[in-house]
Structure 1
Amino acid sequence: MTTTQQNAHATNTGVTTVLGDHSPATEQTLQGDKLLTDIYHLLEPNSLLDIQHEIAPTTGEHAGVKQQTTGTVGVILHNRVIEAISIVCFTPNDSSLPFVTDTSQSCALFLGTPKNDYELVIVDNYQDGVMLAKHFAHEKIIVAVSPTPYLFLDTVKHFAHDTQVTIFPSIEHKDKVKKQFAGCNVKVVIAPLGVITHLECGKSYAEILSFDDTQIIDLELADWAKPKPINHTLPPVTSITKNMLPEPLYNYAMNSAERLNVSLEFVAVPLLVALGSVVGTKVAIMPKRYDDWDIVPNLWGAVIGQPSSKKSPSIAAAMKPIDNLASKARAAHELAKQEYETQKLINDSKAKADDDALKKMAKQLATQADDTDNPITPDDLHQKAAAIAESKAQDNNVPTPRRHMVGDITMEKLGEIENENNNGVLQFRDELSGFLASLDKEGEQEKRAFYLEGFNGTGSAMVDRIGRGSLFIENHCLSVIGGLQPDKLEMYLEKTMRGLGNDGLMQRFQMMVYPDPIARAKENDIAVDKDSRNAVYALFESMDNLYTDSLVSYGAHEPNEYYKRPYFRFDSNAYPVFMDWYNNLQNKADEAEHDVITQHLLKYGRLIPALALIFHLVDCIEIGRRLGGVSLDALKAAIAWGDMLESHMLRVYSCITDNSHLKASLLSNKILEMVKKGGDKTDKTNWLSYGFTARSLKRKNWKGLNDDNAIQTALDVLIEYDWLNYKQVESTGQGGRPTERYFINPNLKTFI
């Protein structure tokens, strides 16, 4: 209902043209008529008109026909937007029904000033209206009267378009009223003796409503089923415990996480990925006792959280130990370059003299007599030439930098770095969404395949460079770590699952965590744990300096003609536990409801042995002696990681495995916001009253609800859960197609 102030520029209607032709009625004009006198005092001054000639309305069924209205008292009737629509003309002291100048348009007599926050009560006769208006004079209730009793039904429905209308039928008319106003925004109040009778007997409206026998029925709600809750919450996840990490790694990760006020997983995962990349292709594990299935411990990981979750500083903290290695490698490379340049100068200075000496020896060999003392032999000449060639070859041995980590880089440059660094490298991307998008681009199939192959870490590769020949990578081993925002990950997964390339790329991110956010707390100021920092830095350096001899001394099998790197197997205690776990994993994968989960679980068969190998190597370095095969303790810690990571994996994939309820949850939250506010102030159409179309929903461009598939999925679920009702509304234009509209269940008010 629009107030008079809000409708200052309302459309002029036919009746307004005659209002200026009549003077305001006075009390003398009313001739002592009790009803008119009561109406006179209830309305603003000058609201009643002294009608002194016949009125010919310009609209309605009596348009242009003069009516017998001379000597009557007129009161203006308004519609729901407070436009003057008609005039009701009373003959003083005449009990017959008043004359209404236009009954073609719905309107009513307001016995007071309409206000938006007032309850609107409509009755079918003026006597009841006046009585109620007097009783409700000091309450937030406005009373309106239908122009005539037979127009009551249309009047109530007209005003119920914009606001709830309250009516007071008798108990005998309950069923009739419920049928007449079914689905309308109408509240029915039925008291034992009737509301009006109780008011006349001195009861207050509040008392009447509190009677045990009083029935209050919301007919708009009664026509709808009770909406069912849509509770899409992220699946629960578990966290890292102290027994899942070697002590130096746990202490370092925990101190960093506490200082940043982030989840432990945000630091521990990139820390382990970095450590695995340092081990790289130095050593492998063969999980089975007899089979030669081999695994190197390079890992792919991702930390998932909102932009404000401190992913970047968490990853940066985890990268500090490998940054330290990179810094030392750069310093070592500078020293090597200096030594190379020094030696090259020496070689260059010797080269001319050596060439002259070789020429002299060659000349002497050619001219010397058979009896020459100390003759030059062909072997002497060959040895001298070989020495010169070796000296020149040293000039080609330009020192190459040891690279532990790369950022945003082309495939060709990455191939060059891998060619020069036989141990593999870590690809670090602060935001992985850009990395994933680059692999999805048209024409980047070769790059995508290059990364997919690099995940295995045990093969070789060839990189063809335009104009610069080909490079052979003996050990093609890539580790990957970075951060991801949930909404960007969801968009990527949805595209992948719709058939745009589910080749297992995402399933390679086995070290993928999506922890619950840490509640924002008072800012921490915690000191760096220098002991744990020094211990982890030293551990990374020791891993970087592992070679065949040291690995064999720890219990690794030596390389042989069939296998080029040292390798471990599980010890006698760990082996049967691994085989049982591996069989159970395959059974679990077979029973998974979604292919993407099956594929991800099966890759844990590689992950768990790789983690166990890393933990075993840490133990070997910490203890400093031979420990033999990979231990049961190391395997148990790795299996615990698998259980924890599985819970995070299920949370990540829930956006596609439970996609319909996720989309429905997004839309339901938006609808509840509308219900709470009483409408959507940004839309021209009141969705709560008139419904909406899928097209108008798409124009909102709400996150997660901006494509046709997502929108239809959400709408279908909300219909199933009785939040929405679907109708085809006929077009108002000629030949137009019906419009599909969705109407919001008014019972949702109970959810607020």
Structure 2
Amino acid sequence: MSTDGVIMATDANNSKVLFKLKAKNNSTEPNTWLRRTVRMLERSGYAAIPCLANGATASYGEGQTYPRNHSVWLGRNVKSDVVAFRLDDVILLDYDGNKAPQGEIISIRELTDLLGLSDLMQFCTQKNDDGDSLHFLFRWPQGVDRSLYKAANNGKWQKHIDIKTGNQLCYLKRGKQIVEGALPYIDDLPEAPPALMETLHKANIVQPEKPLSASGTDSDIEWLNRTAPEWEALFFEYGFEKQGNKWLHPESTTGNPGISINKDGRYISSHGSDPLCDGHSHDKFDFIAQYQYEGDKSQLLSDIRQNRQACLDEDLADEQEWTSPKELKSKLVPVAPFDASLLPTAVRAYVMDYAARMDNAAPDYAAISVMIAAGAVIGGAAQIQPKRNDTGWKLVPNLWGSAIGYPSAMKTPSLKCGLDLLAHSQKVLDRDFMRRQSRYEAEKTIHGARRADIETRIEAATQAANSALSAGEDEDYEAAVSELMRLQESLKAEPDEPKSRELMVNDATVESLAIMANNNPMGIMVFRDELSGWLASLDSPQRPNDRAFYLEGFSCGSYKQSRVSRAPLKIDRLIVSLLGGIQPGKLAPILAARASGDGDDGLLERIIQMSVFPDLSGEYRDTAPDLAAESRAKSVFETLAGIDTAAVYTFSEDAQKIWDEWAAGHKKREQSASADWQGILGKYPALCAKIALVHHILTEADGIDYENEAFSPAMKVSTDSLCCALRWMHYLESHATRITTYFRAEKEMIPAITLRDRLSQLSPSFTRNSLGQKDWQHLKSKDGRESAIEQLIKTGHIREVITPPKNGTGRPSVSFLVNPLI
């Protein structure tokens, strides 16, 4: 909007002014490009940064960060044809072909090959008209220790190609096309390929050598200022007393502190007794010259030149003693290890062999994938009634779960263990459908021939009825009418067209999934390789009904869908199984929201039910598959796919007693649990019964010849299956505990992660006091700083150094050296 010759861009609700511009040539036309671009950046999750007319960007605080709010935009002379945004969690590959002389920059095809990609241009987010100035955006890989990487590699990897991230800026200029009109949301960006990450790795970036002489860029005075102790240590050593944010000179007679350190880290004094009280600010060189050399700067410089090489040699020797720091990881609560006896013997050997061939990956992932896949194939063909008398509580064995782990945990390859069996069952169903389709076509041909004969006989019966009616022969008329009705009924008896069953879908809207579910009353399984995207879509304001759909699909209830663009849809029983993988970092904010009361509709508790978060394990292994075990498991799943009649199972007499005793004790335990834990424990009885039913049917199907033998499982679930399900509950509860407490462990790590990421600004050393003066977020409290320091010492990021007092009296000084290998 515009008023009094000033253009003001506001947010989407017109509730907050983002920035102001003076109207050019007295025009009140709003700068639509800048306003639209800023809004696009905000919507896509980026922090927009104003660019000032003098060529600078608006900065604040200590200079190393840029504003995340728009207050600094007000009253500034903001440029209207360019805007910047931060690269906090984004990596920019800037291809400056427009600035490169002929032949000095590699081609896009060569760059694509260097990065190990098949197509780089699909990741292009901005380009000029000539197509020789390009921006490519990537997101940081999950679990990467960012302290091992630089924030920029400008032209050192390839000429005229800059790579930037972290506290760097990307500029969007008017006239340079933004591909598809908007930048992708940060979570939707492709993950940076390993070859690109290597360009930023500190070990791979050649740093210019620091000159050792005063004639170089690092003068003797600069060297001293860089390597001297912190001001606090210097003040304590020479008897200065701290009072609040200022210091009292040791020779002061007034008792009023008059010494401070300004924002540039320089010494300012108002004490009349202080030789450095001359109206100027002073560096550490001036201070040390005055208080250690009685003002003789020449002598101090001579000593620096004499000792600097020795100090450098000492520094280099010290650097060789350092080792690369360990990765910062959350301390997770222990979980129960997976026991192979949790699986029915029909699939046990197959699962354990599959996991072992995944370089001895944790078998937990493969195990839950097989159990969830089995429940999905059985679907609505079986129900279990856990209680003896309550016939109204029956459960379909659809299961929800996920594989939680870091990128190197082999989640996706391990989940294929169950997905392969599911795919095999789909082939059986497809073959059966083709047989039924062929029979249908034959019956349809026969019915077509019969239809012609019936229609001829209908015509004859109609004529007979008319003749009898005209002749007044009532008996003949009634006989003709009866024959006509019989023929018309037989005409309606067309063969039923068979329906194919689809067991799994990877990605589908709720509308299309509802149509699939309507055509698959036995149920369908949704598999998402990365569940975080699916969870994010459920929170989208544009998809308000998706959560309700999936919740109903878990409960196997009825579902009605009404859309203007299509006919209403009514599903008598919506059955949905769910399986996928997710990284812990993506799960943490969801768990935090649950702890704060958001998203308390029970969706997360349902996903957690068969979710596992095992410890990372594995070692290289190269062995042939156990074909006999694989064949046995596939045969069992063939039998499951052949179940076509619904049945209700109950516990055997002995199993029912075990169930009743366990369920009663579990109910008491649930009632005494915390509110958030009740949401998980309350769903365990149903989960236990479902697992018992799946275990029972898998066991019963073992050894059945699908092609030649009818499957008639025992209708009573055995004590063995129930006891195995109860062991599953103990195992899964330990994982649920780790999962639900993960975000708390991550929260405790935030101070240490923050300090780790800021170490480059503290190098080569810092003290507790200098760290406290930074006032950095997550490090404002003393407890947070102490926790961060303790953890970084343990992981080798920093080292504590205690220096005795110089004169043998007073307190020793404590500082922390930053690992030079970071």
Same fold per TM (> 0.5)?
yes
1:386 aligned partner, one-letter code: E
Q: Paired residue for 2:213?
A: 5
Matches of 1:377 and 1:272, distance apart in 2: 61
2:625 aligned residue: 528
The partner residue of 1:663 within 746, 750, 764 is 750
Superposition deviation, residue 472 in structure 1:
1.9
Distance verdict in 2 for CA 1:354–1:720, change over 3 Å:
same
- 1:4–1:82 CA contact under 8 A, matched in 2: no
Stretches of structure 1 lacking an aligned partner (at least 5 in a row): 14-58, 64-77, 89-97, 121-138, 142-229, 549-564, 698-710, 725-744
The answer to whether the aligner puts 1:383 opposite 2:451 as a matched pair is no
CA RMSD of aligned residues (A): 4.2
Q: Give me the identity figure in percent.
A: 25
1:637 to 716, 724, 735: 724
Compute the displacement of 1:608 (Å).
0.9
Give the one of 546, 565, 571 matched to 1:473: 571
Aligned runs of 1:509-588 on 2, under 5 Å?
509=607, 510-519=609-618, 521-522=619-620, 524-548=621-645, 566-588=647-669
Select which of 437, 450, 473 maps to 2:549.
450
C-alpha distance in 2 between matches for 1:452 and 1:614? 21
Q: How is 1:331-410 mapped onto 2 (pairs within 5 angstroms)?
A: 331-345=431-445, 347-348=447-448, 351=451, 354-368=454-468, 369=471, 377-391=480-494, 394=495, 397-410=496-509
Q: Are 1:661 and 1:717, in contact at CA under 8 Å, matched by a contact in 2?
A: no
- 1:615 match: 695
Q: Tell me, in whole angstroms, the C-alpha distance in 1 between the residues paired with 2:220 and 2:632.
A: 85
Q: 1:435 to 1:722 in 2, by over 3 A?
A: closer
Alignment partner of 1:299 is 2:507 = no
- Aligned to 1:472, what secondary structure does the other structure show? strand
CA-CA distance at 1:566 after TM superposition = 3.0
Check conservation: 1:412, 1:465, Cα contact below 8 A: no
**Compared with structure 1, are the counterparts of its residues 372 and 654 closer, same or farther at alpha carbon in structure 2 (3 Å cutoff)?**
closer
Distance in 2, Cα, partners of 1:648 & 1:590: 21
CA contact (8 A) 2:465 2:476 kept: no
1:99–1:343 Cα change, 3 Å: closer
Is the CA contact 2:331–2:745 (under 8 Å) kept in the aligned structure 1?
no
In structure 1, distance between residues paired with 2:455 and 2:486? 13
What amino acid maps onto 1:477 in structure 2? I
1:380 alignment partner AA: E
Query: What whole-Å deviation, never above 9, does each CA across 1:193-226 have from its counterpart, x for those lacking one?
Result: xxxxxxxxxxxxxxxxxxxxxxxxxxxxxxxxxx
The corresponding residue for 1:146 is none
Aligned mates of 1:111, 1:11 — CA distance in 2? 14
> Match for 1:650: what amino acid?
T
- Change in Cα spacing, 1:575 to 1:715, as seen in structure 2 (3 Å) is farther
SS in 2 for 1:525: coil
Amino acid corresponding to residue 632 of structure 1 in structure 2: T
Q: Distance in 2 between matches of 1:117 and 1:580?
A: 79
Once the two structures are TM-superposed, the CA of residue 455 in structure 1 deviates from its matched residue by 1.0
The one-letter amino acid paired with 1:284 is Q
CA contact (8 A) 2:558 2:571 kept: yes
- Structure whose CA Rg is larger: 1
| Paired letter, 1:277 | A
The Cα offsets for residues 610-657 of structure 1, whole Å up to 9 and x where unpaired, read as: 111111222333377765632222121111111111111111112234
Q: Is the 8 A contact 2:752 2:787 kept in 1?
A: no
- What is the aligned partner in structure 2 of residue 285 from structure 1? 384
Q: Is this contact kept in 1: 2:655–2:722, CA < 8 A?
A: yes
Q: State the Cα distance separating 1:432 from its structure 2 match.
A: 0.9
Letter in 2 for 1:599: G
TM-score normalised by the chain length of structure 1: 0.60
- Show the 5 A alignment for 1:503-514: 503-509=601-607, 510-514=609-613
1:704-723 to 2 correspondences below 5 Å: 711=778, 717-719=783-785, 721=787, 723=789
The answer as to whether partners of 2:523 and 2:574 remain within 8 angstroms in 1 is: yes
Give 1:465 deviation, angstroms.
3.5
How does 1:112-261 map onto structure 2 within 5 Å? 113=305, 118=310, 232-261=330-359
State the AA in 2 paired with 1:527: A
Q: Residue type of the partner of 1:254?
A: M
Aligned to 1:569, the other structure's residue is in SS state: strand
**For each residue in 1:393-428, what CA deviation from the matched residue of structure 2 results, as whole angstroms up to 9, or x when unmatched?**
x4xx44321111112111122222222222111111
CA shift digits 1:660-718 (9 cap, x unpaired): 424345346557xx4xx89448xxx9788843777866xxxxxxxxxxxxx37x95642
Indicate whether 1:268 and 2:334 are aligned. no
Give distance in 1, aligned partners of 2:788 and 2:356: 46
Distance 1:433 1:117, change over 3 A: farther
Q: Following TM superposition, by how much is the alpha carbon of 1:317 offset from its aligned partner in structure 2, in angstroms?
A: 2.2
Q: Which residue, out of 318, 330, 333, partners 2:418? A: 318
- The separation in 2 between residues aligned to 1:263 and 1:377, in whole angstroms, is 76
> For the residues of structure 2 that align with 1:622 and 1:584, how far apart are their CA atoms?
33
- 5+ residue gaps, structure 2: 1-209, 222-274, 316-327, 705-711, 791-812
Distance 1:528 1:110, change over 3 A: same
Change (3 A) 1:694 1:255: farther
Deviates more, 1:339-348 or 1:317-326: 339-348
Contact 1:303 1:482 in 2 (8 A): yes
Looking at structure 1, the residues matched to 509 and 217 of structure 2 have their Cα atoms a distance apart, in angstroms, of 65
Q: Please say if residues 3 and 82 of structure 1, whose CA atoms lie closer than 8 Å, have aligned partners that are also in contact.
A: no
SS in 2 for 1:111: helix
Cross-structure match for 1:600: 680
1:582: Cα distance to partner?
2.3
Q: Tell me the secondary structure at the aligned position of residue 305 of structure 2.
A: coil
Q: Is the counterpart of residue 691 in structure 1 residue 771 in structure 2?
A: yes
Match of 1:210 in 2: none
Whole-Å separation in 2 of the counterparts to 1:687 and 1:466: 67
1:239-258 CA-partner distances (Å, limit 9, x unpaired): 22132111121111001001
Structure 2: how far apart are the matches of 1:250 and 1:362? 68
Letter in 1 for 2:564: I
Counterpart of 2:738 in structure 1 is: 651
- Distance across 2 between alignment mates of 1:751 and 1:584: 54
2:380 partner SS? coil
Amino acid at match of 1:326: Q
Cα distance in 2, alignment partners of residues 574 and 117 from structure 1: 81
* Aligned twin of 1:111: 303
Task: Give the Å deviation of 1:389.
Answer: 2.5
Q: Distance in 2 between matches of 1:437 and 1:231?
A: 25
Distance in structure 2 (CA, Å) of the matches to 1:99 and 1:429: 73
Answer with 462-471 or 412-421: which moved more: 462-471
Relative to structure 1, the CA distance from residue 277 to residue 694 in structure 2 (aligned partners, 3 Å threshold; closer, same or farther) is farther
Contact 2:751–2:785 under 8 Å retained in 1? no
Distance 1:345 1:465 in 2: 37
Partner of 1:498 in structure 2?
A: 596
Letter in 2 for 1:600: I
